[in-house]
Structure 1
Amino acid sequence: MNAPVPPAGNPAFPARTAPRCATLGALDRQVARCGACPRLVAWREEAAAAPRPAFRDEEYWARPVPGFGPPDAALAVVGLAPAAHGGNRTGRMFTGDDSGDVLFAALHAAGLASRPGSAHRDDGTVLHGVRLTAPVHCAPPQNRPTPAERDTCRPWLAAELALLPGLRAVVVLGGFGWQALLPVLAGAGWQIPRPRPAFGHGAHHVLTRADGGDALHLLGCYHPSRRNVFTGRLTPAMLRDVLARAARISGAGRGASGPAPCPE
């Protein structure tokens, strides 16, 4: 007999609950219930109680933000965590802030999103063959989750990727997401080279499986944060190039005809 799942506010809740979810819909519902990290729970609720003036008439989501995208996604985009007045407000990953505006414009240009912007979880935006997610599902203070919060949240990411059977490529936005993702991929059976692949914009590594399953393409991209975009460290063109490359490799996107051949 399976042991009972601890309450949603228990730190063991993600580890015990995530592997039991048989569909992305079930996983998303459980993610939104989670209260495993007290500091993050306090911060997401504090942000909702003190909205920015532009959002003072809106009701904040103020819960963990599930991933967004279809179950047949061949491409995943992994960020850092929701923004306090972005995803924490709208209830959709990468929606409602400057980073999301840049990302959705690039997704649309690559044929991966139905529109070049996303304002709210009910705005009708559709993703084509791509799933947006993060290693931490609650907005953290100063956009900096602790290692313990990252590790507590890890089972959600592991379960989410396991529920994408057609996954062929992952674009990781930033070094935090890169370091958080590698143990998840290793646990799922992909072989991580030693020394571990280093994060960098434009990095591209092909991970194989010991069981002979499909390879996974791991691509790095600077995070489309306001600072990175403002300073020119990441331009919209740079982001579009990485996403377009990932779409070609994975076969994701509107009108896609399947994954491109594995590069030599």
Structure 2
Amino acid sequence: MDAIRAAGQVPGPDDAGFPAHHAPRCATLGELEARLTGCRACPRLVAWREEVAEVRRAAFQDQEYWARPVPGFGPADASVAVVGLAPAAHGGNRTGRMFTGDDAGDFLFTALHTVGLASRPGSGHAGDGLSLRGVRLTSPVHCAPPANKPTPGERDTCRAWLAAELDLLSPGLRVVVALGGFGWQALLPVLADAGWDLPRPRPVFGHGAHVLLPATVRRQELRLLGAYHPSRRNTFTGRLTLPMLVGVLREAAALAGLPAG
């Protein structure tokens, strides 16, 4: 990457510098999504997402997998951003839409629908008519990782996409909800680099955590909320219940000035 920069060349999709070079230059979310979906900067993730698409799960043998980075989903004027972990191998990696086609997505969309922020409680496929109101879903890592565990290096390489997305949302963004500790930890440096002052020591993740980031010269006031991730492990064991997630999302909607159910 250093040699490419020294030569004045623009990093290509297979280069580790591709996100950092291109993401900040995107003027709209549409442009960002177009750039992001062509990214191949993390060889391990590229190999895994494409292997999964080739082998496929038995239930989806007749379906063509998306098998590319999954962009954020939701309106460009969203005042709430919900940040997860990464697309699921047979969920977003299959459907091409964030949090769509798996149990975690169904749980999340049921909660969003209960609060009045999603048009329906399910998330079957990208053409199912689901729409969001006032909320956008995204993640720190946009490719499905093996065992749902991105490496720190993959997280850092992908960080530029999240930073650019939050920057494009920032004129109207009022609340960010981090789903799980990974999303929380990935968000903190992004928010700091974007111009928000983080408290010291850095705020600790927890379900129901609520951190006020005061307005700065560059940014308006922002609220950071924490919620357990709606993974099968959390929902099946009862660590996260639907009323618990609904409670956090309803708080987020209220703080953002969105009418909630």
TM-score by length of 2: 0.95
Q: Deviations over 1:112-156 (max 9, x none)?
A: 111111111122211101000000000000000000000000000
1:209 Cα offset (Å)? 3.2
Q: Is the 8 A contact 1:189 1:209 kept in 2?
A: no
1:4 Cα offset (Å)? 4.6
* Matching residue's letter, 1:125: L
Alignment of 1:52-201 (within 5 A): 52-164=57-169, 165-201=171-207
Cα RMSD over matched residues?
1.2
Q: Distance in 1 between matches of 2:42 and 2:57?
A: 24
Aligned to 1:247: 253
Q: Number of aligned pairs?
A: 253
Segments of structure 2 that go 5 or more residues without pairing to the other structure are: 1-7
* Shift in CA distance, 213/147, structure 1 to aligned 2, threshold 3 Å: closer
Alignment of 1:195-214 (within 5 A): 195-211=201-217, 213-214=219-220
Q: Is the 8 A contact 2:254 2:260 kept in 1?
A: no
Q: Distance in 2 between matches of 1:87 and 1:43?
A: 14
Q: Distance in 2 between matches of 1:87 and 1:253?
A: 28
Q: Distance in 1 between matches of 2:121 and 2:129?
A: 12
Q: Distance in 2 between matches of 1:234 and 1:228?
A: 5
Q: Is the 8 A contact 2:228 2:240 kept in 1?
A: yes
Q: Is the 8 A contact 2:195 2:219 kept in 1?
A: no
Q: Distance in 1 between matches of 2:196 and 2:67?
A: 34
Q: Deviations over 1:3-37 (max 9, x none)?
A: 55311111000000001100000101111000000
Q: Distance in 1 between matches of 2:9 and 2:134?
A: 35
Q: Is the 8 A contact 1:32 1:65 kept in 2?
A: yes
Q: Is the 8 A contact 2:69 2:142 kept in 1?
A: yes
Q: Is the 8 A contact 1:224 1:234 kept in 2?
A: yes
* Shift in CA distance, 119/210, structure 1 to aligned 2, threshold 3 Å: same
* Matching residue's letter, 1:218: L
Aligned to 1:261: none
Q: Distance in 2 between matches of 1:239 and 1:92?
A: 21
Q: Is the 8 A contact 2:68 2:143 kept in 1?
A: yes
Aligned to 2:4: none
1:182 Cα offset (Å)? 0.3
Percent identity between the aligned chains? 70
**Mean Cα deviation higher: 12-21 or 118-127:** 118-127
TM-score by length of 1: 0.93
Segments of structure 1 that go 5 or more residues without pairing to the other structure are: 256-264
Q: Is the 8 A contact 1:96 1:119 kept in 2?
A: yes
Q: Is the 8 A contact 1:170 1:217 kept in 2?
A: yes
Q: Is the 8 A contact 2:250 2:260 kept in 1?
A: no
Q: Is the 8 A contact 2:110 2:121 kept in 1?
A: yes
Matching residue within 237, 240, 258 for 2:243: 237
**SS of residue matched to 1:145:** coil
Q: Is the 8 A contact 1:130 1:252 kept in 2?
A: no
